[in-house]
Structure formats: structure tokens, C-alpha cells
Chain A
């Protein structure tokens, strides 16, 4: 029997390949139309990772080094769901971010802002059976970039998620509500619909906030969901 396919992209949710406001897309975006790949076994399967991919401090980016990093500590937590609202359990999440001064611990980031020896900005975790995850980190700073005159990235954390198949793979960026830089940012603005952009905003959450420790932010991630079951599809045909 053929595998149950995943839903195709919902219009308005995904950035285009070519987006000249983000200059680097110009030479790195195919111009021929993408060919729709049917979802065969190759697409509905994908890698599954376990605890062996994790080390003990992977979900707490503030305790990976000798001392505490500089910056505002915060808790980032949420759920990974699919488009049908079902939790995605046991899936690997990887994050990376700049330090509180807006500098990455990276040889190619040579900007004139301090590195923090106690913050390398990388984290990993697996979602639990309800699709929940939780990281402790510090609030990333703004950083300038070369895209256009006076270009600054809004504060953001990069998220990489696998989901249950090759098709569900997602790499996105989490932003903060009310960040004044958002509307000037061509990467954030490349998501066409307002609803799609809103979904990328972490929301301050008093429940997640830990007394005397740090503020909490909630950020849910939605991966591709299954299409109708073959049985339902059959129903439509009659």
C-alpha cells in the first residue's frame, strides 16, 4: 500500500526562494520551477534520534561552561505540533544563537562586540511524549549585518527540528514580540502572511517565568501534518 502523504505547503506560510531584499538569495535560488515530488517511502521516512545525541547540559546553555554567561537569563519552552494539532514526540531540536552582545561564537563572526567565554550558544533537546521542550539560555543581542545600509537582525534564536519524516524537517528562527527591528528585517519579512510571521514570535509567559532566575517565553513550532488518510481520500472520490 502507498504511504499516506503529508499535506503540501499552506500558501502564505513559507518564504520564496528568490527574495531580493535578502541579497544572498539572488545567486542561491533556483529559477526553474520546483518539481512536485510524490511522497514515497523515501519521503515519509526520516532519521530518528535518541538520547545518545545529547549531552547532559545540552538544554541549559547557561551551564555549559565554568561560569554563568553574561546577559538576561530566560526560559524558552513550548511544544512541537503538527498541522493537525498533534504533538510531535521524541523529536530532536537543535538551537543556536548569538550571545547577549549580539556576537556568535564562530570564527567567521569578527564583529566588534565581546565574546563571552561562558557562552557558545548551542543547545539540543528531545521533545517529551506531549511534544514539549524546554531550554534555559540568555537573551540574544541584536547584531548588524552587511545586507543593506544600517541592517540589523532582530533578536532571534535559530531552531532546527526533524519531526517524523524527511518531509517534516524544519529550520526556522524564533523572534520576540514587539521587537522594533522586525519590520526592517528581510528574513522575518520573507514569510508572506501576517499569521505566518506571528507564529514565529515567542510570547512572554508568566507561568514559565522562574522566581529570582529569569523570564519565560513560550514558542510553539508547527511541522507539516499528514494529509487525509487514503480511506478519507477514497470517500472524496465518490
Chain B
């Protein structure tokens, strides 16, 4: 059997190819669902902004359905929504994504997962991508989410929560910390 190829960092010079025009515009005006804006920032273990990162996002549509042949749930596909986004961090280590709030997705067994977005972090100094999830603070379904409940140190679940902007509805803030005392929860897939 062949063995899996080994990961390597994207390095600092990927920008000529990887960033896509409109990579952060995941939703169009006609996309069904609640439009949201995610303002993300990415920090290193000393809380310094990481200005050369790439972030990829993958999510279900407003009906909780993924645009992929293996998702045969009954929810309707939305032709205006692929569910994939790719952005790079700016000089302040931040990025902006315009999308819609995903619906709940079936989990394993009879469980349901709270609305969430799969997040991959790539950067110089990151040999293998870091995987995390973005959840929405205040969402009642978070309480029963099977993945959140895998995080035993309950206060660390906070690191997976996007926080609503106190002033502007539909705007969410999400901070990724690759180290330090408030290190984000990362997953092994």
C-alpha cells in the first residue's frame, strides 16, 4: 500500500497562486440564509499578528446540506453556494469572510451538530495545516454538540466561539491563537 505524502508548510511565498479573487465572498446576494460577516484574526504564541497566513473554510448551506455527493441529507442544495472560502491574513493578521450562517448538520449516530464552519490554517512555520472549527456563541444547539463536548477543559470551548459584534448584527469576531495561554483548540483529522 502506498503511504500518505508528507505535509510541508506553504511558506511565505504562496500568494501568486493560492489566494483566489473573491475567496472571502462565499455567499452571493441571492444565497439563501442569514448573511453573516466573519472578521477573523490570527495570532502567534506571543499574541503577535500572523500576517502571512492562509485560511480555508468549509461549511454547509443554510439548510445544513453540504455541496458534495456524499451528503444525501434531505435539505435542499443552493446553486449559489459552494461552501468553500479561502482568504489570506493582512498586515494586522486579520481576514474578512462574507457567508451565510450554516444550518445544523447531522452528526454520528442520532446526534446533531450545532452550526459550525470547518477551518484550516496554513502559514510559514505551520508544517501541517491546523484544523479547527468555528461555532457561534449563544447558539442553543452548542450545548448538545458532540464535537464541542470532546473538549474536556470546558473553558477551552470558548476558543472555538465566534463572538457577535456588540454593535452590528450579523457581524462575528473570531480569534485564532496558535499558542500561548489562550491557545485555540485544534483537532486531528
Give A contacts to B, CB under 8 Å. 2-3, 6, 8-10, 12-17, 19, 22-32, 34-48, 81, 83-85, 94-96, 98, 104-106, 108-109, 120-124, 158, 160, 165-167, 169-173, 187, 190-191, 195-197, 199-200, 220-224
Report whether A38 and B147 are in contact in the complex, using a CB–CB cutoff of 8 Å: yes
Interface string of B152-164 (1 = CB under 8 A from A): 0000100000000
Report whether B6 and A81 are in contact in the complex, using a CB–CB cutoff of 8 Å: no
Closest Cβ neighbor of A123 among chain B residues: B17
Which secondary structure characterizes the binding site on chain A? Answer: loop
Apart from A17-B127, A26-B125, A42-B113, list 17 A-B contacts with CB within 8 A: A6-B189, A28-B45, A28-B124, A28-B125, A29-B125, A31-B183, A35-B187, A35-B188, A46-B68, A47-B83, A96-B17, A106-B13, A160-B17, A166-B120, A167-B189, A171-B9, A190-B127
Report whether A94 and B17 are in contact in the complex, using a CB–CB cutoff of 8 Å: yes
Which secondary structure characterizes the binding site on chain B? Answer: loop
Question: Can you list 17 A-B pairs, Cβ within 8 angstroms, ordered by A?
Answer: A13-B5, A14-B7, A28-B124, A29-B178, A31-B45, A34-B187, A35-B185, A37-B187, A37-B188, A44-B70, A46-B68, A47-B84, A83-B3, A96-B13, A108-B12, A199-B2, A222-B2
In the assembled complex, the CB of B52 is this many whole angstroms from the nearest CB of chain A, namely 8
Report whether A42 and B4 are in contact in the complex, using a CB–CB cutoff of 8 Å: no
Chain B contact residue count (CB 8 A cutoff): 69
CA of A9 to CA of B84 in the docked complex: distance in angstroms?
24
Write out the residue numbers on chain B whose beta carbons fall within 8 Å of the beta carbon of A47: 58, 67-68, 82-84
Write out the residue numbers on chain B whose beta carbons fall within 8 Å of the beta carbon of A85: 1-2
Give B contacts to A, CB under 8 Å. 1-18, 44-46, 48, 50, 52, 56, 58, 60, 66-68, 70-71, 73, 82-84, 105-109, 113, 116, 118, 120, 122-131, 146-147, 150-151, 156, 178-179, 183-189
CA of A38 to CA of B188 in the docked complex: distance in angstroms?
9
Closest Cβ neighbor of A200 among chain B residues: B6
In the assembled complex, the CB of A32 is this many whole angstroms from the nearest CB of chain B, namely 6
CA of A52 to CA of B178 in the docked complex: distance in angstroms?
34
